[in-house]
Amino acid sequence: MHPGMTRREWMERLAAVAGAAVAPPLRGAEAPVSPVVVAKCASYGAELRPTLARMFDQLGGLRRLVTGKTVAIKVNLTGSPDQRLGRLPNERTYWTHPAVIGTTIHLMGLAGAKRIRILESPWATAEPLEDYMLAANWEPRDLANAAPRVEFENTNYLGRGKAYVRMMTPHGGHIFRGFDLNHSYADCDVFVSIAKLKEHATTGVTLSMKNCFGITPCTIYGDGAGVQEPGLVPRGGRGPIHFGNRQPSASALAENDPTSPREAGYRVPRVVADLAAARPIHLAIIDGIESINRGEGAWIRGVSPVQPRVLIAGLNAVCTDAVAMAVMGFDPMADRGAPPFERCDSTLRLAEELGVGSRDLSRIEVIGARVEQVRFDFRKSWNQAQSLAAAGWPQHSWSAPRNG
């Protein structure tokens, strides 16, 4: 470090040099591809374990991926643990189901994972992740006991680390050249995103990449972040990422271009793509057995429960999300203006430009069930949901805003 230069100035200088050397955006044809496995799965019961085991085998086996490794698993527990869509537990609507998480942990343990860390950034709290799960009426011990050496960490703040870890975005990033994250996202050999198959009010879809929006600590990127240094504990949501109304704490890298549009449909897909490039996902798993349509959580007006009864997994997040979009009845090559991106840019296209992976189905090998065999058209379900309500499923219309 240059004498007289603060650590932050030094890091910024370093990042600027790296940014100047970035390559121009990649074309889709240049982005890497990897097979994606699709499987029918009717419930979270007995069929789940053999289905997931078979899917992992079809991807080349977990041993190759996790033996002797530290695995970090980002799950999706968005919103608040006491908020539900009607009377349904969150795992049956918009949270990753603990059976999917637990079975994955168990299979990774059998495959020889050295340590498995479950990660999430719970809404506006520094309480332990286990307590957050308890508040949702989950039993975190079931997850802890699913394999040897399972840990939990709330990554919405510094957590158990001594410092935040800076992870740089290849090609300079769309919005951020790099991110300061909880140590768990760097202290791992394998990073796994276990997401939910659902739409998203801001980004069109919530899949394995959008799940990782929540890896940003609100102590730095949130409404209540410190101005100079990170806050001690997270307060509020990620409004600044949505709307650009303020910059992250000055200890982190500022936006590349503070004059860029302050519109969530422009910003959030870009930040998600940046994150997918900065913190690559080695294994993407999408829980589509039960979910909701129209949005990402109970706070979105008109959301209803749906049962696509499908699991999707892959070793490339963009490819996996592209196949998942096709399963949902969307064209993964769609962009702003076309469903599901009526009011936003395509995260998949933006991640593709950063070289994360291809969204071109003609280049992606789909293993297991064919897309047309398992397709669950989310937009058609908007009407079906009303029939479900008539048949006794709850219908809901909350509209309280909540970032997540």
Partner 1 sequence: MSYDPQALAPLRWPLSWTDAGMLDLISGCRINCLLFERADEAPQIRAAAERAGIHVALMSEVAAAALSDLRWNSEASIVAVTDARWPGVRLRKGERAANAGPTGAAWIDANGWLARLVRAKAPSKALWLAFKPGDNEYALRPNAYLLAIAEAGVYGARWPITLDPGFAKALSLRDAAAAAHWRRMMQTLDFFEQRRAVRDLPPAAGLGAISDFAGPNQFTAAEFLNLAARRNLLYRVLDKAGEPNLAGLHAAIYLDQEPAPERWRAALQKFAEDGGLVIAQAVSGLQGAKPAPCDLPGYQMWSAGAGRIAIPVKDWQDPWVTAAETQALVGRRRDPVRLFNPGGLNLYVQADHRRMIVHLINYALSRPGDEKTIAPSGRYSSARFVTIGAEPRPVAITRREKVNDELALPPFEVYAAVELQK
Residues 126-185 that bind partner 1 (CB under 8 A): 126-128, 131-132, 134-135, 137-139, 142, 154, 157-160
Rounded to a whole number of angstroms, the minimum distance from the CB of residue 239 to partner 1 is 10
Distances (CA, A) of 373 to 54, 286, 325, 368, 396: 18, 17, 14, 10, 30
Question: Using the rule CB under 8 A, which residue among 110, 233, 254, 389 binds partner 1?
Answer: 233
| 301 makes contact with partner 1 (CB under 8 A) | no
Taking CB under 8 A as the binding criterion, the range among 178-186, 235-243, 262-270, 326-334 that sits at the site for partner 1 is: 235-243
From start to end of 46-203, where are the E strands?
70-74, 115-120, 150-154, 165-168, 178-181, 190-196, 198-200
Nearest to 11 by CA among 221, 257, 241, 177: 177
DSSP state of 24: P
Nearest to 363 by CA among 56, 30, 38, 39: 30
Q: Which is nearer to partner 1, 1 or 400 (CB)?
A: 400
Q: Which is nearer to partner 1, 71 or 298 (CB)?
A: 298
**What Rg value do the Cα atoms of the chain yield, rounded?**
20
Q: How many Cβ atoms are within 10 Å of 87's Cβ, its own excluded? A: 7
Q: Which is nearer to partner 1, 62 or 303 (CB)?
A: 303
Q: Which is nearer to partner 1, 266 or 299 (CB)?
A: 299
Distances (CA, A) of 354 to 29, 275, 313: 12, 10, 21
Taking CB under 8 A as the binding criterion, the range among 169-177, 227-235, 249-257, 258-266 that sits at the site for partner 1 is: 227-235
Q: Which is nearer to partner 1, 77 or 281 (CB)?
A: 77
The whole-angstrom separation of Cα 49 and Cα 19 is 44
Tokens of 34: 């990897």
User: Is-contact 311 51, C-beta < 8 A?
Assistant: yes
Question: Using the rule CB under 8 A, which residue among 36, 174, 396, 404 binds partner 1?
Answer: 396
Q: How many residues does the chain have?
A: 404
Rounded to a whole number of angstroms, the minimum distance from the CB of residue 80 to partner 1 is 9
Rounded to a whole number of angstroms, the minimum distance from the CB of residue 82 to partner 1 is 5
CA within 13 Å, CB half, 345: 18
DSSP state of 232: S
The whole-angstrom separation of Cα 368 and Cα 361 is 15
| 263 makes contact with partner 1 (CB under 8 A) | no
Count of residues binding partner 1 (CB under 8 A)?
A: 31
Q: Which is nearer to partner 1, 126 or 250 (CB)?
A: 126
Q: Which is nearer to partner 1, 3 or 401 (CB)?
A: 401
| 402 makes contact with partner 1 (CB under 8 A) | yes
The whole-angstrom separation of Cα 343 and Cα 357 is 23
Residues 81-120 that bind partner 1 (CB under 8 A): 82-84, 86-87
Q: How many Cβ atoms are within 10 Å of 198's Cβ, its own excluded? A: 30
Site string for partner 1, 33-72 (x = CB under 8 A): ----------------------------------------
Q: Which is nearer to partner 1, 226 or 280 (CB)?
A: 226
- The strand pairing partners of 255, in sequence order, are 176
Q: Which residues bind partner 1 (CB under 8 A)?
A: 82-84, 86-87, 124-128, 131-132, 134-135, 137-139, 142, 154, 157-160, 232-233, 235-237, 394, 396, 402
